[in-house]
């Protein structure tokens, strides 16, 4: 059925009577719905712990990330080094905390950029008919068919120095990566949003709003967008993971952060040659990326259920 | 010092077939070039005496397949276009030079009947002529005989600028004449102490006139034989997919009796150094893998399985750091790091001296390179005769701090030193390669403790080492404050190698950054010493001059040598191979066998 959002299978079995008390506000209602999604709740807790860990971690574990100690090479986890050490004897927990800030920030920021651009273009294309729609979809196709790697190289060669001058070494690379990744991942979101808009704008409730004198903008923001948001959230959560991975790809090509900045992707890359002898080195950053991506996906799942106005729980 | 070095060489002569005493007497009769001849004899004597790998098989063939893994895949098979080592290795399977270099830096005859020397009349007293005798009875893979015409043609082919051969440097300033069907004469314009360049080693592979004759000059790239080689080597061409796989089969007519041992040969490309090492040392899927730039720790672990072994041979290759004394952040006439500019802080010798004290070479060797390199303070390390004994290295953070304090660099609130508002903050670049990134981190940490801030930058190797004029990240552009890489010394003589320290080789926009002097530092005394060395026929004086060039740059702390690299290859335990640091891996492929 055009326009209807599919329910998540994990939330399908409805147990207990449906209860919608008249007095609750939409916000409380959403929260209530979200709370029922157990996996989403658990995921929120995991993601919250990860974020809290990387934010306040440096105060709890004040070890330098680049203290080289050749007497402690490739040590397995111990009280002194809870996550073990790498082959230069550097403490992995401290590096994970530091790198986690960057990886999470890159992932989330790139997701916001991609989702924002995608919704904007998708919404405009979906609401306008004819030339504008055609043009925007043509642009989307163009971006989809662009070879991403050469484009990345080009953008980075052109703007790296300027951004570095403005935002500093790490800041410049951060802005660049977020913009580049965000700027190259919005197309699937735009298409999803456009498809949703195209069907939803013909629905009765939109026509009713139109009859009541709602402007196009109001129709878009208040009537169509809330109904189209489900799939967008799911698509956006996937962007977070692909942004974290893309950042490590760039670091691998020498175009991302400097090699001594231990983002999670970089840690994995460094660890790959030592998988057989020091699996802990790869295990921790790998698990961190895995947990982040998984929990964001579940949270997206829960949010979609919670935000779906037509779904009765 | 010089006497010791000479003594070392003489000791080598003693190991050879010739007695030193009789040779010196002979040399004295000739006059001026006596010590020079002695050096050459030393080369010959040892080469003849040791003959590399003892060959055990008693008949040709019967060894089954030999599978080699080149993790950078070969893309062409013409030795005179082969700029990459991978292509040189692949070409050397089919083509041979008159002589190759063995692991001790001695000449070893391949297509030559003997190595030219004073004693056999091959070298003229004035250092201007070399006479090579070609081995009789050698046949090309298509059955035609090898003659002096092929050698003369090889010179014409490579010397022609229109051919655009990579090896042209070895041929363009010489003349080659045919003396008879199996003898050629190489004539130099000037007395040339290092004569073993043309027809020797990587640049010396002889190509058949009857296949390339029509394709000299501008048509050179159209020759079918560029991808379907017809050579004299131990293995005959079967099939080639550029960038992927090369197969060959045994040359039943090979010119050395009972050689080669293997029936077929497969050279596979692709992957990276670590997976190549694994495929040989752990799984044994392949017999041989070259150029293993992998942390020694990783290799040692793979070796514990007992399936394979590592071979590390000394070479003249050196891993070093350049400190840029020109300004990489100001553009002058369309180029940065122009010699018209001066670096704000690195042009101060005190800063450079301090940086040299902040490199923990011993730890880099011990914990990262292992068998892959030997810590050194000298740019030239091999052959030992040319190594500077004066240069010493030290790791001393306190001393570096003191030098910077005395020079007036004060720590600011951020812990970074500065003087007159100029901070000691540098961008430090190298290629992407795990050992190099670790070395960068070790240096960065020491610098931090001395109040110097390094921003690490790593560039993918294919870009870093390319000659792409449009790319700002190539090593010859040096658009950074400091950079680190390995430069290879192709011959066991540092003359060609040291041209990266002369003023007329400075890399600039004018020469499309192809100039060999990447550091851009120049010194009049170094120029003069180099020019004098090019004409000096006395080996001791010549060595002293070349050592001087090396010392001037190292003492100015513009060049900071780190490690004298060894070449590391892996093979399965029962493969006997002849690995030389002075020639490509396949230089003596005919002598490989399985025990």
Q: Does A25 touch chain B (CB under 8 A)?
A: no
Q: Does A259 touch chain B (CB under 8 A)?
A: yes
Whether B418 contacts B593, CB under 8 Å: no
CA distance A201 to A217: 12
Residue A312: predicted pLDDT: 59
Residue to mutate among B367, B427, B447, with most A CBs inside 10 A, is: B367
Residue B16 — very low, low, confident or very high, per pLDDT cuts 50/70/90?
Answer: very low
Q: What angle do CA A78, A84, A88 make, to 5 degrees?
A: 135
Phi, psi of B277 (to 5 degrees): -60, -40
CA distance B160 to B149: 16
Closest Cα in chain A, distance from residue B452 (Å): 15
Residue B7: predicted pLDDT: 43
- Residues B268-288: what's their mean pLDDT? 90
- Residues B285-293: what's their mean pLDDT? 91
Q: Which residues lie closer than 8 Å to B38 by C-beta, 6 or more apart? A: B6, B9, B10, B13, B23, B24, B27, B539
What pLDDT digit, counting tens, does each position of B53-96 carry? Answer: 788 888 888 899 999 999 888 888 999 988 778 889 999 999 99
Lowest-pLDDT choice from A288-302, B108-122, B128-142, B239-253: A288-302
Q: Is the pLDDT of residue B180 over 50?
A: yes
Neighbour count for residue B170 (Cβ, 10 Å): 25
Q: Does A273 touch chain B (CB under 8 A)?
A: yes
Residue A106's nearest CA partner among A286, A244, A265 is A244
CA distance B450 to B444: 10
How close are the terminal C-alpha atoms of chain B, in Å? 43
- Strand ranges inside A58-162, DSSP E: none
Residue B34: predicted pLDDT: 36
Chain B residues touching residue A65 (CB < 8 angstroms): none
Minimal Cβ distance to A258: which of B294, B366, B456: B456
Q: Does A70 touch chain B (CB under 8 A)?
A: yes
CA dihedral sign, ordered B207, B213, B217, B219: negative
Residue B432 — very low, low, confident or very high, per pLDDT cuts 50/70/90?
Answer: confident
Q: Is the pLDDT of residue B44 over 60?
A: no
Closest Cα in chain B, distance from residue A273 (Å): 7
Whether B235 contacts B93, CB under 8 Å: yes
What pLDDT digit, counting tens, does each position of B337-381 carry? Answer: 999 999 999 999 999 999 999 999 999 999 889 999 999 999 999
CB contact under 8 Å between B298 and A70, yes or no, is no
| Burial of residue A75, with CB atoms counted within 10 A of its CB: 0-12 exposed, 13-18 middle, 19 or more buried | buried
Nearest chain A alpha carbon to B277: A273
Q: Output DSSP code: residue A220.
A: I
Q: What angle do CA B405, B407, B410 make, to 5 degrees?
A: 45
Scan for tokens 């990387």, then name that residue.
Answer: A54
CB contact under 8 Å between B367 and A70, yes or no, is yes
Q: Which residues lie closer than 8 Å to B175 by C-beta, 6 or more apart? A: B186, B187
Residue A155's nearest CA partner among A236, A250, A59, A261 is A250
Residue to mutate among B427, B438, B483, with most A CBs inside 10 A, is: B438
CB contact under 8 Å between A157 and B472, yes or no, is yes
What pLDDT digit, counting tens, does each position of B495-538 carry? Answer: 888 989 999 989 888 888 888 899 999 999 999 999 999 888 88
Residue B40: predicted pLDDT: 43
Beta bridge partners of B517: B506
Q: What is the rounded average pLDDT for all residues in chain B?
A: 87
Q: How many residues does chain A have?
A: 313
Residue B273: predicted pLDDT: 87
| Burial of residue B421, with CB atoms counted within 10 A of its CB: 0-12 exposed, 13-18 middle, 19 or more buried | exposed
3-state class (DSSP) for residue B458: strand
Chain B residues touching residue A272 (CB < 8 angstroms): 274
Q: What is the rounded average pLDDT for all residues in chain A?
A: 81
- Residues B142-170: what's their mean pLDDT? 91
Residue to mutate among B455, B461, B464, B466, with most A CBs inside 10 A, is: B455
Chain B residues touching residue A87 (CB < 8 angstroms): 295, 297, 367, 438
Residue B371's nearest CA partner among B430, B314, B307, B428 is B314
Residue A9: predicted pLDDT: 46
Q: How many CA atoms lie within 13 A of A170 on its CB side?
A: 12
Q: Is the pLDDT of residue B423 over 80?
A: yes
Whether B348 contacts B407, CB under 8 Å: yes
Residue B388: predicted pLDDT: 92
CA dihedral sign, ordered B248, B252, B257, B263: positive
Residue B20: predicted pLDDT: 44
Tokens of B214: 């029509």
Q: Is the pLDDT of residue B333 over 80?
A: yes
Q: Is the pLDDT of residue B9 over 60?
A: no
Residue B357: predicted pLDDT: 95
Q: Is the pLDDT of residue A16 over 80?
A: no
Residue to mutate among B277, B444, B477, with most A CBs inside 10 A, is: B444
Nearest chain A alpha carbon to B329: A161
Closest Cα in chain A, distance from residue B25 (Å): 56
Q: Does A204 touch chain B (CB under 8 A)?
A: no
- Residues B100-121: what's their mean pLDDT? 90
Residue B31: predicted pLDDT: 38
Whether B535 contacts B191, CB under 8 Å: yes
CB contact under 8 Å between B445 and A66, yes or no, is yes
- Residues B426-444: what's their mean pLDDT? 91
Chain B residues touching residue A73 (CB < 8 angstroms): 297, 367
Chain B residues touching residue A253 (CB < 8 angstroms): 432, 460
Q: How many CB pairs under 8 A join A and B?
A: 59
Minimal Cβ distance to A277: which of B301, B448, B457: B301
Nearest chain B alpha carbon to A168: B455
Residue to mutate among A259, A266, A267, with most B CBs inside 10 A, is: A259
Q: Is the pLDDT of residue A255 over 80?
A: no
Tokens of B231: 């050579």
Residue B47 — very low, low, confident or very high, per pLDDT cuts 50/70/90?
Answer: very low
- Residues B130-144: what's their mean pLDDT? 94
Q: What part of A 87-126 touches B (C-beta under 8 Å)?
A: 87-88
Q: Does A169 touch chain B (CB under 8 A)?
A: yes
Q: Does A277 touch chain B (CB under 8 A)?
A: yes
Q: State how far the alpha carbon of A121 is from the alpha carbons of A26, A134, A137, B95, in Å.
A: 27, 12, 9, 61
Q: What part of A 128-157 touches B (C-beta under 8 Å)?
A: 157
pTM value is 0.78
Residue A198 — very low, low, confident or very high, per pLDDT cuts 50/70/90?
Answer: confident
Whether B210 contacts B225, CB under 8 Å: no
CA distance A295 to A301: 10
CB contact under 8 Å between A254 and B460, yes or no, is yes
Q: What angle do CA B588, B593, B595 make, to 5 degrees?
A: 145
Query: How many angstroms from the chain centroid is the CA of residue B381?
Result: 12
CA distance B100 to B107: 6
Residue A1 — very low, low, confident or very high, per pLDDT cuts 50/70/90?
Answer: very low
CB contact under 8 Å between B438 and A88, yes or no, is yes
Scan for tokens 């020469």, then name that residue.
Answer: B511
Residue B280: predicted pLDDT: 94
Closest Cα in chain A, distance from residue B409 (Å): 23
CB contact under 8 Å between B455 and A258, yes or no, is yes
CB contact under 8 Å between A87 and B295, yes or no, is yes
- Residues B15-44: what's their mean pLDDT? 41
Residue B193's nearest CA partner among B125, B134, B133 is B125
CA distance A194 to A125: 6
Q: What percent of chain B has pLDDT over 70?
A: 91
Q: Is the pLDDT of residue B25 over 90?
A: no
Neighbour count for residue B225 (Cβ, 10 Å): 18
Edge-to-edge strand list for the sheet holding B417-419: B410-411, B417-419, B422-423
Whether B269 contacts B72, CB under 8 Å: yes
Residue B577: predicted pLDDT: 92
Q: Which residues lie closer than 8 Å to A141 by C-beta, 6 or more apart? A: none
The dihedral over CA atoms of B400, B402, B406, B409, expressed in degrees to the nearest 10, equals: 60
Minimal Cβ distance to B442: which of A68, A169, A276: A68
CB contact under 8 Å between A273 and B295, yes or no, is yes
CB contact under 8 Å between B458 and A259, yes or no, is yes
Whether B524 contacts B494, CB under 8 Å: no
Give me the DSSP letters along B180-247: ETTEEEEEESS--S----TTBGGGG----HHHHGGG-GGGGGG-GGGTS---SSSEEEEEEETTTEEE
CB contact under 8 Å between A274 and B298, yes or no, is yes
Minimal Cβ distance to B437: which of A68, A70, A259: A259
Whether A301 contacts A8, CB under 8 Å: yes
Q: Is the pLDDT of residue B28 over 50?
A: no
CB contact under 8 Å between B458 and A157, yes or no, is no
Q: Which residues lie closer than 8 Å to B476 by C-beta, 6 or more apart? A: B467, B507, B513, B514, B515, B518
Residue B92's nearest CA partner among B104, B102, B81, B78 is B78
Nearest chain B alpha carbon to A170: B455
Query: How many angstroms from the chain centroid is the CA of residue B364?
Result: 22
Chain A residues touching residue B432 (CB < 8 angstroms): 252-254, 259
Residue B5: predicted pLDDT: 43
What pLDDT digit, counting tens, does each position of B448-505 carry? Answer: 999 999 999 888 887 888 777 888 888 999 999 999 999 888 888 898 889 899 999 8
Q: Does A73 touch chain B (CB under 8 A)?
A: yes
3-state class (DSSP) for residue B255: coil
CA distance A181 to A241: 11
Q: Is the pLDDT of residue B190 over 80?
A: yes
Whether B553 contacts B499, CB under 8 Å: no
Q: Is the pLDDT of residue B145 over 60?
A: yes
Beta bridge partners of B431: B459
- Chain B positions touching chain A (beta carbons under 8 Å): 274, 294-295, 297-298, 301, 363, 366-367, 432, 434, 437-438, 440-442, 444-445, 448, 455-460, 471-472
Q: Is the pLDDT of residue B319 over 90?
A: yes
Residue B207's nearest CA partner among B71, B83, B91, B330 is B91
Beta bridge partners of B335: B332
What pLDDT digit, counting tens, does each position of A114-131 carry? Answer: 999 999 998 888 888 788
Closest Cα in chain A, distance from residue B398 (Å): 18
CB contact under 8 Å between B456 and A169, yes or no, is no
Minimal Cβ distance to A68: which of B294, B445, B471: B445
Residue B163's nearest CA partner among B201, B206, B93, B212 is B212
Q: What percent of chain A has pLDDT over 90?
A: 8
CA distance B496 to B103: 19
């Amino acid at each position: 059925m055009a326009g209807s959002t599919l329910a998540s299978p994990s939330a399908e079995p409805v147990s207990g009577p449906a209860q919608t008390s008249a007095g609750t506000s939409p916000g409380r209602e959403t929260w209530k719905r979200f709370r029922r999604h157990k996996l989403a709740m658990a995921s929120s807790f995991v993601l919250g712990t990860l974020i809290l860990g990387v934010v306040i971690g440096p105060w709890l574990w004040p070890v330098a990330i680049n203290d080289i100690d050749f007497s402690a090479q490739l040590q397995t986890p111990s009280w002194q080094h809870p996550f073990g050490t790498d082959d230069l004897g550097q403490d992995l927990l401290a590096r994970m905390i530091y790198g986690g800030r960057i990886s999470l920030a890159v992932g989330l920021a790139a997701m916001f950029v991609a989702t924002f651009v995608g919704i904007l273009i998708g919404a405009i294309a979906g609401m306008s008919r004819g030339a504008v729609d055609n043009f925007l979809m043509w642009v989307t196709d163009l971006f989809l068919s662009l070879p991403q790697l050469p484009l990345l190289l080009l953008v980075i060669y052109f703007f790296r120095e300027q951004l570095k001058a403005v935002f500093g070494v790490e800041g410049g690379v951060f802005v660049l990566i977020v913009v580049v990744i965000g700027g190259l991942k919005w197309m699937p979101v735009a298409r999803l949003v456009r498809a949703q808009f195209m069907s939803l704008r013909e629905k009765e409730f939109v026509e009713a709003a139109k009859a009541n004198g709602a402007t196009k903008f109001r129709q878009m923001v208040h009537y169509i967008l809330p109904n189209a948001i489900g799939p967008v959230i799911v698509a956006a959560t996937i962007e977070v993971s692909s942004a974290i991975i893309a950042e490590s790809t760039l670091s691998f090509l020498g175009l991302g952060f400097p090699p001594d900045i231990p983002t999670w992707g970089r840690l994995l890359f460094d660890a790959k040659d030592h998988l057989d002898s020091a699996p802990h080195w790869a295990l921790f950053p790998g698990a961190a990326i895995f947990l982040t991506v998984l929990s964001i996906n579940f949270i997206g799942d829960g949010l979609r259920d919670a935000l779906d106005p037509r779904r009765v729980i | 010092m010089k006497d010791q070095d000479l003594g070392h060489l003489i000791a080598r002569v003693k190991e050879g077939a010739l007695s030193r005493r009789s040779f010196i007497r002979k040399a004295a009769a000739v006059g001026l070039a006596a010590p020079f001849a002695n050096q050459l004899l030393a080369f010959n004597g040892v080469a003849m005496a040791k003959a590399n790998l003892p060959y055990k098989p008693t008949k040709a063939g019967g060894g089954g397949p030999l599978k080699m893994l080149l993790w950078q895949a070969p893309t062409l098979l013409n030795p005179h276009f082969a700029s990459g080592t991978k292509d040189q290795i692949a070409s050397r399977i089919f083509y041979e030079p008159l002589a190759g270099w063995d692991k001790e830096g001695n000449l070893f005859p391949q297509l030559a009947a003997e190595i030219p020397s004073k004693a056999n009349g091959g070298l003229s007293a004035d250092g201007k002529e070399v006479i090579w005798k070609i081995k009789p009875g050698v046949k090309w893979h298509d059955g035609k005989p090898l003659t002096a015409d092929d050698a003369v043609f090889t010179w014409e082919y490579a010397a022609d600028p229109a051919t655009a051969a990579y090896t042209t440097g070895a041929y363009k300033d010489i003349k080659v004449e045919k003396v008879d069907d199996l003898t050629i004469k190489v004539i130099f314009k000037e007395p040339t102490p290092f004569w073993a360049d043309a027809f020797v080693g990587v640049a010396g592979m002889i190509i058949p006139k009857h296949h390339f004759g029509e394709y000299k000059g501008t048509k050179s790239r159209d020759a079918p034989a560029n991808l379907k080689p017809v050579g004299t080597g131990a293995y005959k061409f079967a099939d080639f997919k550029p960038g992927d796989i090369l197969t060959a089969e045994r040359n039943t007519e090979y010119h050395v009796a009972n050689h080669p041992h293997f029936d077929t040969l497969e050279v596979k490309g692709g992957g990276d150094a670590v997976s190549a090492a694994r495929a040989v040392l752990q799984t044994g899927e392949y017999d041989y893998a070259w150029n293993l730039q992998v942390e020694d720790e990783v290799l040692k672990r793979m070796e514990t399985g007992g399936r394979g072994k590592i071979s590390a041979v000394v070479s003249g290759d050196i891993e070093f750091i350049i400190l840029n004394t020109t300004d990489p952040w100001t553009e002058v006439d369309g180029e940065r790091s122009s010699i018209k500019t001066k670096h704000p802080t690195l042009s101060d010798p005190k800063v450079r001296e301090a940086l040299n004290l902040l490199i923990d070479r011993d730890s880099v060797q011990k914990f990262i390179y292992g068998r892959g390199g030997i810590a050194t303070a000298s740019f030239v390390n091999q052959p030992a005769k040319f190594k500077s004994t004066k240069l010493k290295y030290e790791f001393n953070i306190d001393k570096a701090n003191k030098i910077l304090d005395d020079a007036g660099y004060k720590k600011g609130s951020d812990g970074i030193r500065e003087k007159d508002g100029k901070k000691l903050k540098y961008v430090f670049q190298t290629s992407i390669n795990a050992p190099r990134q670790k070395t960068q981190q070790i240096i960065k940490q020491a610098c931090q403790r001395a109040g110097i801030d390094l921003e690490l930058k790593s560039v993918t190797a294919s870009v870093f080492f390319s000659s792409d004029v449009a790319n700002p990240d190539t090593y010859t552009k040096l658009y950074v404050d400091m950079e680190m890489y390995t430069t290879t010394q192709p011959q066991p003589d540092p003359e060609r190698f040291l041209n990266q320290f002369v003023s007329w080789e400075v890399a600039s926009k004018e020469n499309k950054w192809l100039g060999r002097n990447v550091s851009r530092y120049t010194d009049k005394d170094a120029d003069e010493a180099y020019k004098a060395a090019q004409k000096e026929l006395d080996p001791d004086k010549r060595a002293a001059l070349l050592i001087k060039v090396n010392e001037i740059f190292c003492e100015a702390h513009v060049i900071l040598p780190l490690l004298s690299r060894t070449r590391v290859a892996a093979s399965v335990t029962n493969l006997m191979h002849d690995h030389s640091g002075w020639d490509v891996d396949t230089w003596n492929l005919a002598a490989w066998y399985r025990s």
